[in-house]
Amino acid sequence: MITTETVNVQDEKKSAFLGSLSSAFQGVESYTALRKSAWDTLSKFAIPGTKTEAWKYTRVGKVINQARKKSGGNTQINLPEIAIGGLRYVFVDGVFRADLSDELTWQGLNIRRTGESAENNLLGTLSNHNADWFEAVNAAFFNDGLVIDVDKHTHIDCPIHLVFFASEENTAAFSRNVISLQESSSLQVFTHYIGSQHSTFSSVVTEAFVAKNASLKIDKIQEGNEAAFHHVEWTKQERDSRFDITTVTLKSSWVRNDLNIRVAGENCHSSLTGAYLPSGKEHVDNHTMVDHMVPNCESDEKYKGIVRENATAVFNGKVFVRPDAQKTNAFQQNANIVLDDTATMFSKPELEIYADDVKCSHGSTTGQFDEEAVFYLRARGIGEVMARKLLVEAFLADVITTLSDERLQSYCTEKIQQLMHS
Amino acid sequence: MLQIKDLHANIDGTEILKGLSLHIKPGEIHAIMGPNGSGKSTLASVLAGNEDYEITGGSVAFGDKDLLELSTEDRAREGLFLAFQYPVEIPGVSNINFLRTAVNEIREYKGEEPMSAGDFLKLVKERSALVELDGKLANRSVNEGFSGGEKKRNEVFQMAMLEPKLAILDETDSGLDIDALKIVAQGVNAMRSPERSFVVITHYQRLLDYIVPDFVHVLYKGKIVKSGSKELALELEARGYDWIKEEVSA
């Protein structure tokens, strides 16, 4: 009896949530095959809960227990104070803002809007909308985003700066990006996700294709405030390519990041770094997956967090080394400082290695501030606040320094210090 | 300079210092010796402000200040320096950045302007040479991957940078070979001045051949039980501590 009731409650919540989105996002067309399979997933599976392994530690009530509407995207916004040069494209509540954005097409670089161009044949080819409920929600409702193509042998020497604002109370926004680097090209993308004091839900799925000998760097900064963020990156690397991504989660009430890399060609390098520092009632979940499908590749992963005051952080790092992927070097490290008894950290490295001639290592540490170090610094005349500041900076430094631009690094360092002393 | 009167201190409910008194005047070097477990390192920790210890009685005046009322950082800013027996490794914090922060926080406390980068680097160069600390060590993370000897030299280097009024060297000689010991002593001697005092805590007389004390005290069961000149250290080296213990229990 109890089971049936639970299912009924689940069903009611599911239909209320999907119902509000269906009416809000009416008229979303194109990509019919993708959307059909997404809807199959949504009807087949329950909303992820404690029994869904990949969502075990992340409660989704904050996102789904609220009817969501679609925004007109007209909110007046202040652009972030980071100017890193390059081309900037701005979405407000999922709506492209031409008035705040640069021209779409540049030499060697082809940028189109997902919602306004012909169907892209790469979109939906990597993502997991057939099994993951939230990726299916994104696939069912997305209405815009960017498709970025870099021509063969083209090195784009200015960064592409994507800004996603979430501003209007009780709105949902669904965006879908495709980044495609042709052979021997390179690109740096800075995605800045910004929320407001209003409750919003925004889901962005980005599929990246890094061709032979190409190099893609993504710097991702999340400042959700009261926003709930569901951000998914799927990347496929061809031979001799390089993919680097740094994810820094500043103040954000609810974040789920899914970062998945398929290493499909030999001699690739992939690096994944992340930093998070939730406090208050914030929740940050980083799920990563590196799939070594072929031999002679290297992946290097380092996630670091400081968790305090009732906050929860989740790190789940999967590394697959398939039977053919001999001579793989895969490293993973997750280090956490849990500052008080009320904060919670779930750290789960998962290595599945099916090849026998590989070098793989992983380490997960969760501890407290080194009080001996604090005392040592104080004994040299450094005040307690400054001592802790130095130690926080030192702890996160090897993640923050992987951001490609010094201005991003100092932006994050400064924000982190403000957060630690608020 | 430093006036300790009848100091009592506990850790986890066990009394370690049981009425210790000591008076140090400007420019003096006092050596504190004693068998293991007599309270030597506790004295150093208590003076530096380690909150693991509970002060249950007595007083400590540092200049015109009540030392026990000051926070750890304010003790340092007032001119107290502890060279740690076991210096902590702090990965990610560069030795230079750390020292610069310390120097400038101390200057700010005294109402002075921050030291310019040029002056600071000049001072680093000059003072690191005192302990023959390779310039490259100054740019590494604090104590990270340093050998035992390098850590102790780094303590003396920090002392030379911060120019304290009173430096407490807590077993700075332990684990050092004779060459490292000489270097450490040379650094300390270079910093001697009529205004600066030292407390040298050690097990062994050997260090006192190089840093010559004005007074030698024996600490036993939480109290100073005997004081004398530098010859006392030689006597202790020759005869051990048993005769002191007998004198105390007699």
pLDDT band at A2 (very low <50, low <70, confident <90, very high): very low
User: A68-72: which pairs have CB atoms within 8 A and are 24 or more residues apart?
Assistant: A68/A17, A68/A20, A68/A21, A68/A24, A68/A170, A68/A171, A68/A172, A68/A201, A69/A20, A69/A24, A69/A170, A69/A171, A69/A172, A70/A24, A70/A25, A70/A94, A70/A171, A70/A172, A70/A173, A71/A95, A71/A167, A71/A168, A71/A171, A71/A173
- From chain A, the residues in CB contact with B92 under 8 A are 393-395, 397-398
Q: Does residue A4 surpass a pLDDT of 60?
A: no
Contact call for B87 and A375, based on CB within 8 A: no
Record the tokens describing residue B14, joined without a space: 């066990």
Which chain B residue's Cα is nearest to A401? B92
| Sign of CA pseudo-dihedral B116, B122, B127, B133 | positive
pLDDT band at A7 (very low <50, low <70, confident <90, very high): low
Q: What is the pLDDT of residues B109-137, one digit of tens each?
A: 999 999 999 999 999 999 999 998 877 67
The distance of B218 to chain A (nearest Cα, Å) reads 26
Which residues are paired to B18 by β-bridges?
B8
The distance of A266 to chain B (nearest Cα, Å) reads 34
Q: Does residue B244 surpass a pLDDT of 90?
A: no
Q: What is the pLDDT of residues A267-299, one digit of tens each?
A: 999 999 999 999 999 999 999 999 999 999 999
The distance of B92 to chain A (nearest Cα, Å) reads 4
Record the tokens describing residue A365, joined without a space: 């540490």
Contact call for A378 and B92, based on CB within 8 A: no
Q: What is the pLDDT of residues A338-386, one digit of tens each?
A: 988 999 999 999 999 999 999 999 999 999 888 999 999 999 999 998 9
> Cβ atoms within 10 A of the Cβ of A105, count?
9
List the B80-83 sheet strands across, edge first: B80-83, B166-170, B197-201, B29-33, B215-220, B223-228
Rounded to an integer, the average pLDDT of B193-219 is 94
The distance of A367 to chain B (nearest Cα, Å) reads 15
Kind of pairing, strands A344-353 and B2-11?
A: unpaired
Contact call for B98 and A390, based on CB within 8 A: yes
Contact call for B90 and A397, based on CB within 8 A: no
Contact call for A384 and B71, based on CB within 8 A: yes
Those residues of chain B whose CB sits closer than 8 Å to some CB in chain A are 48-50, 71-73, 75-77, 81-82, 84, 87-88, 90-93, 97-99, 101-102, 105-106, 109, 141-142, 158, 162
Contact call for B92 and A397, based on CB within 8 A: yes
Which chain A residue's Cα is nearest to B74? A381
Rounded to an integer, the average pLDDT of B201-226 is 93
Q: What is the pLDDT of residues A222-247, one digit of tens each?
A: 999 999 999 999 999 999 999 999 99
Those residues of chain A whose CB sits closer than 8 Å to some CB in chain B are 370, 372-373, 375-384, 386-387, 390-391, 393-395, 397-398
pLDDT value, residue B92: 86
Q: What is the pLDDT of residues B30-52, one digit of tens each?
A: 999 998 889 999 999 999 999 99
Of A382, A394, A398, the CB nearest to B102: A382
Contact call for B49 and A378, based on CB within 8 A: yes
CB A172 within 8 A of CB A142: no
The C-alpha atoms of residue A277 and residue A313 are separated, in whole angstroms, by 8
- From chain A, the residues in CB contact with B81 under 8 A are 379
pLDDT band at A38 (very low <50, low <70, confident <90, very high): very high
Which chain B residue's Cα is nearest to A369? B90
Which chain A residue's Cα is nearest to B105? A382
Of A383, A390, A391, the CB nearest to B73: A383
> Cβ atoms within 10 A of the Cβ of A388, count?
20
Name the burial class of residue A9, with classes exposed (0-12), middle (13-18) and buried (19+) by CB atoms within 10 angstroms of its CB. Answer: exposed
> Cβ atoms within 10 A of the Cβ of B202, count?
23
Q: Does residue B200 surpass a pLDDT of 70?
A: yes
Closest C-alpha to B208, from B242, B175, B172, B233 = B233
Rounded to an integer, the average pLDDT of B226-243 is 90
The distance of A378 to chain B (nearest Cα, Å) reads 5
Which stretch, A7-11, A77-81, A94-98, has highest mean pLDDT?
A94-98
The distance of B53 to chain A (nearest Cα, Å) reads 13
The distance of B43 to chain A (nearest Cα, Å) reads 15
Contact call for B90 and A377, based on CB within 8 A: yes
Find all residues with CB under 8 Å of B215, minimum gap 6, and list them.
B28, B29, B30, B31, B227, B228, B229
> Best of B50, B72, B100 to disrupt the A interface by mutation (most A CBs within 10 Å)?
B72
The domain spans of chain B are 2-87+147-249
b/e burial code for range A279-306 (CB count within 10 A of at least 16 → b)? beebbbbbbbbbbbbbbebbbbbbbbbb
Q: Does residue A116 surpass a pLDDT of 90?
A: no
Contact call for A375 and B92, based on CB within 8 A: no
Return mean pLDDT, chain A: 93
- From chain B, the residues in CB contact with A380 under 8 A are 76, 98-99, 102, 158, 162
pLDDT value, residue B174: 86
pLDDT value, residue A3: 45
Q: What is the pLDDT of residues A326-342, one digit of tens each?
A: 999 999 999 999 988 99
The C-alpha atoms of residue A103 and residue B28 are separated, in whole angstroms, by 75
Question: Helix/strand/coil (H, E, C) string of chain A?
Answer: CHHHHHHHHHHHHHHHHHHHHHHHCCCCCCCHHHHHHHHHHHHHCCCCCCCCHHHCCCCCHHHHCCCCECCCCCCCCCCCCCCCCCEEEEEECCEECHHHCCCCEECCEEEEEHHHCCCCCCCCCCCCCCCCHHHHHHHHHCCECEEEEECCCCECCCCEEEEEECCCCCEEEEEEEEEEECCCCEEEEEEEEECCCCCEEEEEEEEEEECCCCEEEEEEEEECEEEEEEEEEEEEECCCCEEEEEEEECCEEEEEEEEEEEECCCCCEEEEEEEECCCCCCEEEEEEEEEECCCCCEEEEEEEEEECCCCEEEEEEEEEECCCCCCCEEEEEEEEEECCCCCEEEEEEEEEECCCCCEEEEEEEEECCCHHHHHHHHCCCCCHHHHHHHHHHHHHHHHHCCCCCHHHHHHHHHHHHHHHCC
CATH of domain B2-87+147-249: 3.40.50.300
- From chain B, the residues in CB contact with A395 under 8 A are 92
Q: pLDDT above 70 covers what percent of chain A? A: 98
Q: How many CB pairs under 8 A join A and B?
A: 72
Name the burial class of residue A352, with classes exposed (0-12), middle (13-18) and buried (19+) by CB atoms within 10 angstroms of its CB. Answer: exposed
> Best of B82, B93, B154 to disrupt the A interface by mutation (most A CBs within 10 Å)?
B93
pLDDT value, residue A194: 96
The distance of A418 to chain B (nearest Cα, Å) reads 18
The end-to-end CA distance of chain B, in Å, is 33
